Structure formats: C-alpha cells, structure tokens
Structure 1
Amino acid sequence: MFARASAYDHDIRVTRISPAAGCDASYEAEIAGASNVAPQGGYLLAVVFNAVLTYFAGQGQGRPVSMDVSFMNPSTTGPCRIDLSLISAGRSTTVARATLYQPAAKSPRVQAVVTMASPGGPFVPPHRTTPDWSLPIKSSLTHFVPPAGALDLADFYIAEPEGGDGDKESLGWGELRGRLCDDWKAVAVFLDWISFPSRPTKSEAPTAPSLLLGPDHEIHALFHAAPPAGNTGIMVHHVAVPDLDRDHHVVDGELRDKDGRLLVTLR
C-alpha cells in the first residue's frame, strides 16, 4: 500500500517564508531526527530539491534540466533555511542557486545550482552512451541495512556486479517506504547512494557492502525523463574510477525507473 502523504514527504516538507536579503525566495524546513534520518547526503538534497521544485512549480517551470551540487559539511537535526536566488531567467529555462543554511553553522551546508525548464523547454539528451545493464529480480538481491543514523525511510537492495568487480561497479534498487517513486521529489534522495559490494571474506556475507562512498565534493546531474506514473522504485548503477592524485573516486552513475527507462545521469 502506498500512502498519499508518506513519512518521506513529511520529512522533506518546506514552507515558504519572507525572502532573505538579496534572495528571490526562502523556505524553512526541519532536518528530521525522530525518524533516524541522516542529516547529510541524499536527504539534504531531497530537502533542497523540494524547495526548488516548489518554487518553480508556481512559476510554470517545474521540470528540472540539470543540478550541480556542492557539499559543504554534514548538518545537524533541527531547523534550516533554503534561500533561492535567480542567476538567469530566459523564455524556456531559468537558472537558480539554492543554498541550505542552519542557525548554528557559519557556512552553508549544501549549495546547488539548478536549471529548470518550462513544459515546452529544451530536452537534454544523454551526454554519453553506456553499456546496457539490468538488475536481477529484487527477491535475489541483498537488502542493505544502512549504518546507524542513515536514512531509514527508504529500502536499498544491492547486487553483486557480473564478474564480482565490486571495487569499481555498483548495482542496486531503491524504494521509498509507503510511497511511489513517480515524481521528481522522490528521485533526489537516491542521487548520492553509492554502495559497492565486494567479494566475500570469511567474515562477510557474499554481497556484504565493503565500500560506501559518500559524495563529499560535488555532484553533477542531468535529468532526462520524469519517473512515470505508478513507478515503484529506482534502479541505480555506478562505475567508480580511482583518482589517486586527489585521493578520491570519480563516479559515473545512472538512475532508471523500474522498467529500465533512463531518468538521470550523474557524475
């Protein structure tokens, strides 16, 4: 059963307030704590993205084209404010900066630059081709229980990539508890989910995740198609390339709907 208003919608809700000085709009929200939601990563993206979508829906430009996200620092539970500033406004697209602040923090927690399009605005084709990929049936995947403090409003299932190359490739399936994944608000929380399974050791289950990569630098996402009505989950595929000079990984990823239709490409 899917609820009309899920706990996920409750925990990403935003309320419009008087705009901060120099901003075009501001929203307040509450970083949830009671539902064991990690105040970082995809959850913060979902809050910021909800504010952006809410604002532009009232402007007749509710379709995202791209989003460039900078992660500043993990936040804490409690109130926050999202400020929106229009960078450029055209006939078919508008670019805005969205910044999430918390009262006790001296610097922003998250900053995103989002391009939104009108219903008749431009469509962004995929900027690269990738080999076909698919997931085994969900019942054969491993239900991943996130570490304490991580998002528990979603269910994640991981698959061992063909060939067992777990340090480079990640495959998984994500669902929101009690809610369909059939709108853009449901997508943002999956943009940062990267879980790389590994070959088993004596102390591990065959598909136990050994490497959890969190985007601590930036995310670049292109939105290609909205999730269709009735879509129940998001398929996720990532390929990581180690960047030893900078001591981190560059990760290319895709989000697809339950039938394999491409929704988002990201790096």
Structure 2
Amino acid sequence: MYDIGTRQRALSLLRSGAKNATVSRTLNVPPGTISSWKHEDRAKRGESPGRCHRPLCPRCDGRELDEAAYAYLLGLYLGDGHISHPRQHRVPSLRITLDDAWPGVQREAMAAVRTAFPDNTASWARKTGCRDVKVYSKHLVCLFPQHGPGRKHERAIVLEPWQQEIVDAHSWPFIRGLIHSDGSRILNWTEKTIGGRMKRYEYPRYFFTNTSDDIVRLYTDTLDRVGVSWRSRRRATGAHDVSVARRDDVALMDQYVGPKH
C-alpha cells in the first residue's frame, strides 16, 4: 500500500527517536504499520524490541548463579515456597508467602529473588496479612528440582549433588532462609528465688518447625556442619520442633541469622 519512500521516511524518523504515534500522524500511516516497520528494521540491524536476550538459566545455559542468594532462597522455598503452573499461564511461577509482621524478611526475599533471577521481573502479590514474592521463569524446575505434585511433607525432598555443594559452601544463608520461613527466635523466661527475692531470668532460643522429615534433616545436618547443637521433638500433629538453646550456639546463630525483622 505504501511506496518505498514513505517507508524510508518513517524509518528515518524512528531512528532519530520519534515516537510511533508521531510518525503515524506525520505520514498518515496506521500505528500498527509503523510498529511493524520498526520491528522489522530493528530485527535486520540485530536489535529487538523489549528485552535484548531471552532469560538464561544457570543449569541449562551456564549463566553465573549467585550461590549465597540461591542458598537463602532455597531455604525460603523449602519452608514457605511453591511453584505453580496455572492453565492461564504458559510459564510457571515461584511464590514465597511471607508474613507482613516481618517486612525486613520480605525485603531480603525480594532481593534474593532478583539476584538469583536477574533476567526476570520479580513482583509482589498482596494477601490478607502477608505478601507473596513472585517470579515467572521457564527454568524454575531446573533450579528447584524438589518441585512435584502434592505437599512437600508427602514426598521425598532430596537435594541434587550440585545443590548440596552450594549448601555446603553457603550453610548460613541456607539456615537463615529456613529460619525466616519456618523458624523463630524467642525469649524463654523462668523465675528463681535467690536470697529471699524472686528474680526473672530470660534466655533466647531458636525454633524451627516443619512437618517434612526430609526438610528437618536438611536443617539439622546443616546445623551439624556449622557446629551448632540442637534438640528435636515431634508434636502430636506430626511436625518436628528443632530447638537451639545452648548459650554458645544461640550466640553463633545470632551472629549469622538473628531475629526476624
């Protein structure tokens, strides 16, 4: 419909920085045609609208992975994360549900997602009393092969060798992620009568609670690796409570984990 001169003039305007709508009005050419010419021109010149490249995957493409951020994110995922693939979306999404009582944890989680998935856009999904940090990627299952049907405590949760190497090298971020998801730091207290006066003593303690035997084992094995002693008991519901209470061990946890914030 349009002669070569009109098309060349349009491309010249577009390359100079003119907007599609401006070129459309100037030349009396439909916006869709202008957009198509611009797309074809940029493709011929080795460019493309939007992203300059497709998101890469550390497992499939060898992209560098920030292992400390990933170890923290893996801990969050094992506690409060899940991967879903709704029918209306072609790409699966990772969601980690985080309580609004801990905005600092929410910020750390978002930072970890953006660091581990630098080519993807992370966002928030608001819920009552909490928020989901969310990211879409075709390679989620590559990085979280523990994904599968059913609840985590109803299936085996075993780290791949490459994941175990990362956890071994970055044990504290992994522990921190687990505590930030399914753990807490609390103050226990007791009262004793000394010299006829009642005195109150407070002492901090870390708890981690999870129903999956495998996830609890990953946590306690990692505590063993960093030299933290622990005790565990099983609730009537089947969940495990893992406690870190000795003063030196709590001090070490405070150094690398600390209270939720």
Please classify the TM superposition score into its range, dividing by the shorter chain length: under 0.3
TM-score of the pair, normalised by structure 1: 0.21
TM-score of the pair, normalised by structure 2: 0.22
More strand by share: 1
